[in-house]
Amino acid sequence: MKKIISFLCSLFLILPPLLKASPPNVIIRFMTGNDCFNCNRSIEVKGIMIHSTAEPGIMAEDWFDLWNKSYKKGDFERQVCVHCFSDDKNVCQYLP
């Protein structure tokens, strides 16, 4: 995961002169209420996927409260998890 965070940050370090933006802050805040965090499994990271959330106005930090819930406990109607969200200000790591 550190390699992924480092890669995302390096992208933001390369792109700012082109985009006239500042590098993002890295925020690590684990979603301890999410079933993926509590399943006690580790994965071998093979790559990264970056996609648009298709939610204008919702920043990377906003997803913490939206997805830090448990499907198994009935807090949420679907199973979702993600390691990181990024926007033009932050890279937020939510799972180890």
Distance spanning both ends of the chain, measured CA to CA = 7
Q: What is the pLDDT of residue 28?
A: 93
Q: How confident is the model at residue 83 (pLDDT cuts 50, 70, 90)?
A: confident
Residue 18, CA distances (Å) to 6, 11, 52, 60, 90 in order:
19, 11, 20, 22, 18
Average pLDDT, the chain: 79
Residue 12, CA distances (Å) to 7, 26, 37, 45, 61 in order:
9, 11, 27, 21, 17
Tokens linked to 20: 């006239």
